[in-house]
Amino acid sequence: MRYGLPRRRLEVLRASMAARTHDAMVGSMQTSRIVSVNVGLPREVPWRGDTVSTAIFKEPVTGRVRVAGVNLDGDRQADLTVHGGPDKAVYVYPSEHYPAWELELGRPLSAGAFGENLTVSGLPLEDAICIGDRLRAGSAELLVVQPRLPCFKLGIKFDDPGMLRRFLVSGRTGYYLRILAEGDVGAFDPIELVERHPARVTVSEVTRLLTRNRHDPEGLRRAMGVDALPEDLRSAFAEALETPLPGDLSAQT
């Protein structure tokens, strides 16, 4: 699928994005904050002549929203075999990524476009925020646990089957949080990084190990040493450590 806009509209879009980027930078110098709280329930959508259930379509909500159990109030997941649960309770996406996506896709995007629960501004991005870092959002306490690796439904959301690869290649994945202490959140609440994990294994590093370079024993062991890493990722990394590289004579008997 090709994206594009007439030149004049593109110039207006660029100017709008520049203003948004400036506002985000000014805001981040003051405090990290929640730009938008977004929730959604599963719905049936057409796909390749059939229908699938998805909850990737999130809408911003006003007022206070409870963060408890494994969800925000008013938010659910469709396929619980791969979505939801304690290690995917809250999905965060940085607003700083929106201008690049709008320029790349050639159209404006509203908060929640990537299916995130919290659109945020001013926090470290994926190459700086780490697995095991603790956050305070509103009155809730949360833990960074893993990057988002989307399924084919991201392509449905953007009407582009290539969006999955585009998303991963960009490195602009966002990340999932585990709920440590229940509370409530609202748009414009502060969201603070209150404690750094000493291992300093970034979200981007885990994405790299999962998608591009599983034959990195040192990196795999570092990631596995982070207690906050979900058990399914730990198992995947352990399996990768036991899988010999092609042509590895040491694995032959």
- 194 CB neighbour count, 10 Å cutoff: 11
Tell me whether residue 247 is in a domain. Answer: no
What is the domain-level CATH number for residue 36? Answer: 2.40.33.20
Q: What is the pLDDT of residue 11?
A: 52
What integer best gives the mean pLDDT of the chain?
Answer: 87
Predicted confidence band of residue 140 (pLDDT cuts 50, 70, 90): very high
Decide if pLDDT at 234 tops 90.
yes
- Domain span at 190: 7-197
Structure tokens given for 181: 């202490």
- The structure's pTM equals 0.84
| CA 195, 201, 202, 203 torsion-angle sign | negative
Interval 14-65: pLDDT, tens: 544 544 544 444 444 458 999 999 999 999 988 888 898 998 999 999 999 9
* Residue 98 to residue 212: CA distance in whole angstroms: 24
Tell me whether residue 190 is in a domain. Answer: yes
Interval 142-155: pLDDT, tens: 999 999 999 889 99
* Residue 14 to residue 172: CA distance in whole angstroms: 19
- Average the pLDDT over 207-232 and give the result: 94
Residue 153 to residues 56, 143, 159, 229, Cα–Cα distance (Å): 7, 25, 9, 25
Q: What percent of the chain has pLDDT over 70?
A: 82
Tell me whether residue 241 is in a domain. Answer: no
Predicted confidence band of residue 82 (pLDDT cuts 50, 70, 90): low
Tell me whether residue 251 is in a domain. Answer: no
Residue 160 to residues 13, 121, 163, 181, Cα–Cα distance (Å): 21, 27, 5, 37
Tell me whether residue 19 is in a domain. Answer: yes
Domain count, the chain: 1
| Identity at 218, one-letter amino acid code | E
- Average the pLDDT over 174-187 and give the result: 98
- Average the pLDDT over 119-137 and give the result: 98
Tell me whether residue 240 is in a domain. Answer: no
Helix (H, G, I), strand (E, B) or coil at 52: strand
Tell me whether residue 211 is in a domain. Answer: no
Decide if pLDDT at 2 tops 50.
no
* Residue 159 to residue 116: CA distance in whole angstroms: 18
Q: What is the pLDDT of residue 91?
A: 97
Tell me whether residue 14 is in a domain. Answer: yes
Query: Cβ distance 171 to 165 under 8 Å?
Result: no
Q: What percent of the chain has pLDDT over 90?
A: 71
Q: What is the pLDDT of residue 6?
A: 55
